[in-house]
Amino acid sequence: MAEEWGLTEAGYVAPRGADFLTRIRDGYIERVRENTGLTITVDWDHDVFLGPISDIMADLLGELGEASQALFDSWDVGNATGLQLDNLCLIVNVRRREATYSTCTVTITGTAGTIITEGRIVEGGGSDDRARWTVTEDVTIGGGGTVDVIVQASDPGVIEADVAEIVTIVTPVSGWTSVTNAAAATPGEARESDAALRKRRQQSLQTAGSRSLNALRANVLAADGVTAAVVVENDTSTTATIEGISCLPHSVAVVVYPSTLTDDQKTEVVQAIYDHLPAGIATNGAQTATVTGADGFAKTVRYGFAASNTVNSAVTVTLMAGFVLDDVEEPIQELISDYFLALDVGEAASILQILALIATVDGVRTASVLLNGGAVDVDPSATSLNVLGTNTVST
């Protein structure tokens, strides 16, 4: 009904193409009655002009209605996606974390004195063993016939390479005979998902209480490279174990993920802890750094790294008539991947929450989920982060 369209107490409701079609056809009959006094019966079949022309008009207006609904939804953090969500986050000074690049140290073998210039390309690893890596600096093969150099993946995101997988020279140089990697690559990070960005935006709003644990955690999460963090507190006068973490009296423990942060990123984490730590509060953790405050006094800041807890997801679906596995497999896998990327340190992987996401995929009648082979939630320790391993969907 027309009165239900537009801004309502429940939000904005846009008319659909079917709504426009009804109004166009009813309006035509009513206009004829007003102008002629006649009540007519119209043939709306497609072999008559009025049938297809009213359909075309309704379809075009329906597209405008959908666009207006999308525009309204884009101002709601829960509904906004992509660039619109980025814009809402920028209002509160939160930026989406872009994908980072995987890196790996490779050993180049060849004739002593041969120069390998920055930008040369080698290959190996990745999902099809064809990932490409770029030499990051000029190096010269030493007297022993080898030289180590760091290479960076050509594409951003999580690109893996196990030991001895980067073995192909794509842009050869005379005197360069082979390449290999003695250690696995350090994977990059995928671009932050909408779900993870929404969650971090909400957490950032907690910085208003600048000396609260939530504020401390929010500022640590804002540090470059940090994708998850947890902060626990021991407010007693004796050493105590809090959420599985041994804490000194009157102290906090900050645990961050991942452990592959660069030195500059670690420095940013330490500074975030120091800047938002209440006076007289000690810190805990195996990682240590010294910070000199504005008063000239040095303070030791401790923190720890969260371990990763691999969770393999296996979804079995029953499909509605007319749908095949290819219709639902990729959408389900993307939803599950985004779900795990949004988890916090110590947060359980919930089968019920995953099923709720699967229920939004067109074509799925029923579904079951196994995590690490069992139909139960995976609850990690307080200092572990559930990380998605295999991600399969079958019928």
Q: Residues 252, 331: one domain?
A: no
Residues 286-301: tens digit of each pLDDT: 999 988 866 677 888 9
Burial of 28 (0-12, 13-18, 19+ CB in 10 A): middle
- Name 8's bridge partners: 11
Q: Residues 273, 359: one domain?
A: no
Residues 63 and 208: their CA atoms lie apart, in Å, by 42
Residues 269 and 263: their CA atoms lie apart, in Å, by 10
374: left (phi over 0), alpha (psi -120 to 50) or beta: beta
Write down the pLDDT at residue 245: 84
Write down the pLDDT at residue 203: 67
Q: Residues 158, 228: one domain?
A: no
Q: Residues 161, 240: one domain?
A: no
Domain boundary residue, one of 274, 305, 336: 305
Residue 81 lies in a domain: no
DSSP string spanning 199-211? Answer: HHHHHHGGGGSTT
Range from 43-57, 145-159, 194-208, 230-244 carrying the lowest mean pLDDT = 194-208
Selected residue with higher pLDDT from 110 and 221: 110
Selected residue with higher pLDDT from 199 and 356: 356
pLDDT confidence band for 338 (50 / 70 / 90): confident
Residues 192-214: tens digit of each pLDDT: 888 888 877 776 665 544 556 77
Residue 91 lies in a domain: no
Q: Residues 240, 298: one domain?
A: yes
pLDDT confidence band for 312 (50 / 70 / 90): very high
Residue 358 lies in a domain: yes
Average pLDDT of the chain to the nearest whole number: 88
Domain boundary residue, one of 253, 287, 305: 305
Backbone angles phi, psi at 182, to 5 degrees: -80, -15
Range from 176-185, 266-275, 307-316 carrying the lowest mean pLDDT = 266-275
Residue 13 lies in a domain: yes
Residue 118 lies in a domain: yes
Residue 226 lies in a domain: yes
Q: Residues 272, 313: one domain?
A: no
Residue 84 lies in a domain: no
Domain boundary residue, one of 242, 274, 305: 305
Range from 58-62, 172-176, 349-353, 390-394 carrying the lowest mean pLDDT = 58-62
Q: Residues 168, 215: one domain?
A: no
- Is the Cβ–Cβ distance between 221 and 200 less than 8 Å? yes
Structural domain range at position 175: 103-180
Q: Residues 283, 337: one domain?
A: no
Question: Residues of the chain with pLDDT > 90: what percent?
Answer: 46
The tokens for 231 are 């902060």
Range from 18-22, 79-83, 311-315 carrying the lowest mean pLDDT = 79-83
Q: Residues 313, 291: one domain?
A: no
Q: Residues 217, 295: one domain?
A: yes
pLDDT confidence band for 80 (50 / 70 / 90): confident
Write down the pLDDT at residue 79: 78
Q: Residues 213, 297: one domain?
A: yes
Please say if the pLDDT value at position 370 is more than 90.
yes
Selected residue with higher pLDDT from 344 and 135: 135
Residues 210 and 277: their CA atoms lie apart, in Å, by 9
Residues 260-271: tens digit of each pLDDT: 888 899 999 998
- Is the Cβ–Cβ distance between 260 and 283 less than 8 Å? no
Omega into 380 within 30° of 0, i.e. cis?
Answer: no
Write down the pLDDT at residue 215: 80
Q: 286: domain CATH number? A: 3.30.300
Residues 235 and 18: their CA atoms lie apart, in Å, by 62
Please say if the pLDDT value at position 302 is more than 60.
yes
- Is the Cβ–Cβ distance between 157 and 190 less than 8 Å? yes
Please say if the pLDDT value at position 57 is more than 60.
yes
Write down the pLDDT at residue 3: 53
Residue 366 lies in a domain: yes
Residues 76 and 210: their CA atoms lie apart, in Å, by 26
Please say if the pLDDT value at position 1 is more than 50.
no
Domain count, the chain: 4
Q: Residues 220, 297: one domain?
A: yes
